């Protein structure tokens, strides 16, 4: 086990190196740089600024400089925001995380419960209605459902705020603050859950259907165990196993932010920040964030492999 | 397994990059919430976005057609509850609030309220007193002397003197200065030596007494008055860590501005709000409304105006938008035209386009009225000169309107020697007449391509459009030179010479005309407005005839604001800042 982990971590480092290089090249080779889009500058001044920012150096040299600084924990200053990249992350990531963690929790909860029930009552009217509803939810574009709900719940009925994270100008603290944030996050969480729950429910449903047909379930029933126990202890545990792989993938998603949702609901998350940085070619911020997500992805897969081992002793590492 | 993982990761990155570039245009589309001006020094990257996007906007005049709220009782409760706070939507302030040291135009909007320039401009763009109560220009137009008002204070109560002004101008000449202020292009005497590090001060800047400062240029430049007459940074605050050649420390101060504006920063909540509070040390008296908030509004601003979460927003002046705003009932509507202009850049390195007749034919043969006015539901106006209708230099006298005329275009092309070939495409010396057009992805580009393709093909010109996912990619392709025609818009313009800069500084390669250059210099050689007006009239006539670019359009927009706000006016060049201190909320 420990040799396995050492080996995996070594691989991870190699992968991250390769990934960072690839990401750097990808950004550096995208047409246009941070200076290009500033229509106010004369060609002369553009050249001067490229010199100051080091954008006129060869890509390899720029990569080496970036890597060297990154090793010293210095991810640089965002060119457009004039702030250290890490402090920007700290300002925005937690807002994205808050939305993601709540909606992921709700998505999994609903998906497991509905999936299990639908599988147990396969082809019943409940199953049919759920499946139709899920397909409908999966096929609605997020911007449409987002704007539609804003129109209904915020503009017309005025139940929920149309966006943002706080009531503008609010000075609330403590519990009142928490209540305000919850009030504001209801709409985005609703939309995110709605969009995510479809595929996950279908996943659990099909896993569950496979498991229910196994011999050991028949055995468990034959022993005279209660149906509830058969379903939730024997069947569900086995049906959840393949889902461990998904847990690994959820990790980067928790911190990555959601471009469309954040934009529609004016949520101060990292997804928006990333999007703007891309159109401005704000390299330090782009590099820092993409690498951060790459690290989470690699860690996520490691975690899910280890969890596999913990959950299922048959899996050898 | 490992290999597969690398592949998966890299494809994921690639895919996300593609997705991003595909979405890239969205960031340019949400400008409806950018109501205020970027302030004089701060049109920049984001304003670059602004410039290539329809609705985002900046102030400008056209006071006709004001619509007042029809039914204030429709005002949402949430707005009624605010008695000492005004909220304005702003796309995306990033938190860098030091003038000259910011990259985003939205930050410029914020700093224009936190700082007051030495010289403001009126609704026509003519200079009026700001922190400086008057100024003198020497007879040779080389020396500018500014006289500051008495007892000026920064928002912390410390006095503002000529030393602070000198400090501000000096650090803009530092070699590590990486902002986009044009002060360092004015050729101030000794500026280059300071930049090179061979002098420890800029010799042309002279503090005469605490209230008086003068600056001497090497070459006359009439735009210097307003360029230099901008915001003032406190030497005590911003200069205490300054060493020549080292301005990095300024980044640390970007979130804690110390200014002279009507408001001072109370709190910045990233991605959400910029809260400001009235500055009791403002030279013109403490503003009437205690709190002012810029609310970050990334997406659409409609819902915030409708629900009363913001008091003020700007929209493209389409008929649809105006009707919708009127239906709201509780907003006043104020139309305006921004100070920039749109144009089609032509590749003058290509032989066909070097011919003036061909450029004129391309202008006559393009139905600009349909593209920029009719298809935009009236939210535009056709441009024929490099100046906005709101500028003091604007004129239509003697200007050829190049009204759409396909016959005239054909005639000009015949005259230029381009004859229809076997396939209907015109050719000359074995070369076919093709236009390779570049645009960035947005609805306006789609309209342009649809109309231009039809118009140009009717003339026997092959039209090959290419659309880019975002603005930077477009500019980079144009810089590469592989194009014939590309859509652009200028940044916001204050002085008439700003709109002409691109014709002299090499931004339009291949355009060199000594007659134009001479006029350009002449326009800057005097500060006398009447003399300048005459020169700019000649310049506009010249460019209108030569068409180094095809002038296309001015945008038209509207401000919509809560009918409770009294005394609101918007300066075309300085945005909200001049009238904001007087805004009040009527109680009802």
Å between A54 CA and nearest CA of chain B? 12
- The model's pLDDT over A49-90, given as tens digits with 9 standing for 90+, comes to 999 999 999 999 999 999 999 888 889 899 888 889 999 999
Cβ–Cβ below 8 Å for A22 and B13: yes
Between B93 and A232, name the one with better pLDDT. B93
B495 CB near a chain A CB, below 8 Å?
Answer: no
Q: How much of chain A is helix, strand and coil, in % rounded to 5?
A: 75, 0, 25
Question: Is B9 part of the contact surface with chain A (CB cutoff 8 Å)?
Answer: yes
- Tens of pLDDT, residue by residue over A164-215, are 898 888 888 889 999 999 999 999 999 999 988 988 999 999 999 999 888 9
- Asked if B288 and B583 count as a contact pair (C-beta separation under 8 A), the reply is yes
Element (H, E) at B559: strand B557-562
Give the residue from chain A lying closest to B82, CA to CA: A169
Q: Which of A95, A146, A46 is nearest to A268 (CA)?
A: A95
Please state the domain extents for chain B: 72-91+262-337+557-585, 114-253, 342-555
SS (H, E, C) B467-532: EECCHHHHHHHHHHCCCCEEEEECCCCCCHHHHHHHHHCCCCCCCCCHHHHHHHHHHHHCCCHHHH
Q: Measured between CA atoms, how close is B410 to chain A, in angstroms? A: 34
Chain B's closest residue to A146, CA to CA, is B299
Tell me the fold of B72-91+262-337+557-585: D-Maltodextrin-Binding Protein; domain 2 (3.40.190)
What is the architecture, at CATH level 2, of domain B114-253?
Answer: Alpha-Beta Complex (3.90)
State the nearest Cα–Cα gap between B6 and chain A, in angstroms: 7
Do residues B58 and B339 lie in contact, with contact meaning Cβ atoms separated by under 8 Å?
yes
What burial class does residue B129 get, using C-beta atoms within 10 Å of its C-beta: 0-12 exposed, 13-18 middle, 19+ buried?
Answer: middle
CA distances from B37 to A79, B178, B285 (A): 22, 22, 22
Report residue B80 as tokens.
């009624």
- DSSP, residue by residue, B408-450: HHHHHHHHTT-EE-TTS-EEETTEE-EEEEEEESSHHHHHHHH
Average model confidence (pLDDT) across chain A: 89
pLDDT for B56 equals 34
Element (H, E) at B550: strand B549-551
ipTM comes to 0.88
Chain A residues with CB under 8 Å of B17 CB are 26, 30, 278
B413-427 as b/e: b if 16+ CB within 10 A:
beebebeeeeeebbb
* Interface touch A40/B180, C-beta < 8 Å: yes
Strand order of the β-sheet with B419-420 is B419-420, B426-428, B431-432
Q: Are B484 and B353 in contact (CB under 8 A)?
A: yes
For residue A165, the chain B residues in CB contact (below 8 A) are 271-272
Closest CA to A115 of A44, A9, A202: A202
Number of CB pairs, chain A paired with chain B, less than 8 A apart: 209
Residues 504-533 of B with CB under 8 A from A: 505-507
Does pLDDT of A317 surpass 70? no
For B251, which of A23, A42, A82 is closest by C-beta distance? A82
From chain B residues 22-51, the ones with a CB under 8 A of any chain A CB are 23-24, 26-28, 30, 43-49, 51
pLDDT averaged per 10 residues, chain B (length 588): 41 40 34 33 33 35 67 88 92 92 91 95 92 94 95 95 97 93 92 94 95 95 94 96 93 93 94 95 94 87 90 92 92 92 94 94 96 93 95 94 95 94 90 94 93 95 93 91 93 91 88 92 92 95 95 94 91 86 84
CA–CA distance, A251 with A249 (Å, rounded to integer): 5
CA distance B362 to B455: 9
Q: Is B95 left (phi over 0), alpha (psi -120 to 50) or beta?
A: left
**CATH architecture of the domain covering B342-555:** Roll (3.10)
**DSSP states of A28-87 as a string?**
HHSSS-TTTT-TTS-HHHHHHHHHHHTTTS-HHHHHHHHHHHHHTT---B-TTT-SBHHH
pLDDT value of residue A248: 83
CATH for A93-272 (3.40.50.10860, 3.40.50.11540, 1.10.3720.10, 2.60.40.10): 1.10.3720.10
Which of B12, B306, B475 shows the shortest C-beta gap to A37? B475
The domains of chain A are located at 93-272
Contact B296 A266 (CB under 8 A): yes
């Amino acid at each position: 086990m420990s040799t396995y982990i050492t080996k995996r971590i070594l691989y991870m480092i190699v992968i991250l190196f390769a990934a960072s290089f690839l990401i750097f090249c990808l950004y550096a080779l995208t047409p246009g740089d941070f200076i290009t889009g500033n229509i106010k500058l004369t060609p002369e001044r553009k050249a001067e600024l490229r010199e100051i920012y080091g954008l006129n150096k060869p890509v390899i040299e720029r990569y080496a400089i970036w890597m060297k600084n990154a090793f010293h924990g210095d991810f640089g200053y965002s060119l457009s925001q004039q702030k250290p990249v890490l402090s920007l992350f700290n300002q925005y990531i937690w807002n994205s995380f808050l939305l993601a963690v709540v909606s992921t929790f709700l998505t999994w909860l609903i998906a497991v419960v509905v999936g299990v029930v639908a599988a147990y009552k396969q082809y019943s009217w409940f199953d049919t209605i759920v499946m139709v509803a899920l397909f409908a939810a999966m096929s609605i574009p997020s911007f449409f459902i987002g704007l539609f709900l804003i129109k209904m719940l915020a503009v017309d009925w005025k139940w929920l705020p149309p966006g943002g994270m706080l009531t503008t100008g609010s000075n609330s603290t403590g519990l009142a603050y928490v209540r305000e944030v919850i009030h504001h996050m209801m709409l985005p969480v609703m939309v995110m859950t709605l969009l995510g729950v479809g595929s996950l429910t279908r996943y659990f449903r099909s896993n569950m259907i496979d498991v229910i047909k196994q011999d050991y379930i028949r055995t468990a029933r034959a022993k005279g165990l209660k149906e509830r126990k058969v379903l939730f202890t024997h069947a569900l545990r086995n049906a959840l196993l393949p889902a461990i792989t998904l847990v690994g993938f959820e990790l980067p998603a928790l911190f990555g932010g959601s471009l469309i949702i954040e934009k529609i609901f004016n949520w101060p998350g990292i997804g928006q920040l990333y999007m703007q940085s891309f159109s401005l070619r704000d390299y330090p911020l782009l590099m820092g964030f993409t690498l951060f997500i790459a690290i989470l992805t690699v860690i996520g897969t490691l975690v899910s492999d280890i969890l596999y081992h913990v959950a299922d002793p048959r899996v050898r590492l | 397994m490992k290999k597969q993982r690398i592949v998966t990761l890299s494809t994921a990155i690639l895919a996300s990059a593609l997705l991003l570039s595909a979405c890239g245009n969205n960031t340019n589309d949400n400008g409806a919430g950018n109501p205020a001006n970027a302030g004089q020094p701060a049109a920049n990257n984001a304003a670059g976005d602004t410039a290539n996007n329809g609705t985002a906007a900046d102030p400008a005049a056209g006071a006709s057609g004001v619509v007042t709220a029809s039914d204030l009782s429709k005002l949402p409760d949430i707005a009624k509850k605010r008695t000492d706070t005004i909220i304005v939507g702003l796309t995306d302030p990033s938190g860098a609030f030091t003038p000259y040291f910011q990259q985003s135009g939205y930050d410029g909007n914020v700093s224009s309220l936190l700082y007051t320039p030495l010289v403001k401009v009126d609704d026509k763009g003519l200079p009026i007193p700001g922190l400086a109560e008057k100024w003198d220009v020497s007879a040779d137009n080389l020396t500018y002397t500014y006289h500051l008002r008495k007892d000026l204070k920064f928002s912390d109560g410390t006095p503002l003197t000529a030393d602070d002004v000198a400090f501000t101008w000096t650090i803009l000449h530092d070699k590590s200065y990486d902002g986009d202020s044009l002060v360092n292009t004015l050729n101030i005497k000794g500026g280059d030596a300071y930049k090179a590090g061979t002098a420890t001060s800029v010799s042309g800047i002279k503090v005469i007494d605490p209230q008086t400062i003068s600056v001497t240029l090497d070459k006359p430049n009439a735009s210097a008055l307003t360029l230099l007459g901008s915001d003032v940074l406190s030497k005590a605050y911003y200069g205490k860590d300054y060493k020549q050649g080292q301005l990095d420390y300024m980044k640390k101060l970007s979130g804690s501005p110390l200014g002279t504006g009507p408001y001072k920063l109370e709190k910045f909540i990233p991605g959400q709000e910029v809260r400001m509070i009235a500055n009791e040390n403002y030279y013109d008296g403490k503003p009437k409304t205690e709190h002012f908030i810029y609310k970050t509004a990334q997406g659409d601003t409609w819902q915030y105006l409708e629900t009363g979460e913001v008091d003020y927003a700007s929209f493209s002046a389409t008929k649809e938008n105006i009707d919708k705003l009127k239906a709201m009932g509780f907003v006043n509507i104020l139309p305006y035209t921004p100070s920039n202009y749109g144009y089609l850049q032509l590749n003058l390195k290509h032989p066909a386009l070097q011919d003036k007749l061909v450029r004129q034919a391309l202008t006559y043969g393009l139905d600009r009225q349909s593209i920029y006015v009719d298809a935009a539901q009236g939210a535009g106006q056709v441009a024929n000169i490099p100046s906005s209708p709101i500028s003091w230099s604007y004129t239509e006298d003697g200007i050829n309107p190049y009204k759409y005329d396909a016959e005239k275009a054909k005639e000009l092309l015949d005259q230029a020697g381009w004859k229809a070939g076997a396939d209907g495409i015109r050719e000359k010396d074995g070369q076919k007449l093709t236009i390779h057009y570049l645009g960035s992805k947005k609805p306006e580009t789609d309209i342009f391509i649809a109309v231009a393709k039809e118009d140009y093909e009717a003339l026997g010109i092959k039209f090959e459009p290419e659309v880019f996912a975002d603005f930077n990619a477009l500019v980079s392709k144009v810089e590469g030179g592989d194009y014939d025609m590309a859509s652009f818009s200028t940044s916001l313009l204050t002085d008439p010479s700003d709109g002409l800069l691109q014709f002299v500084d090499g931004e339009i390669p291949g355009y060199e005309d000594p007659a134009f250059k001479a006029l350009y210099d002449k326009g800057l050689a005097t500060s006398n407005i009447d003399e300048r007006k005459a020169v700019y009239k000649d310049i506009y006539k010249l460019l209108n005839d030569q068409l180094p670019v095809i002038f296309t359009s001015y945008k038209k927009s509207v401000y919509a604001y809560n009918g409770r706000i009294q005394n609101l006016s918007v300066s075309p060049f300085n945005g909200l800042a001049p009238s904001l201190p007087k805004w009040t909320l009527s109680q009802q």
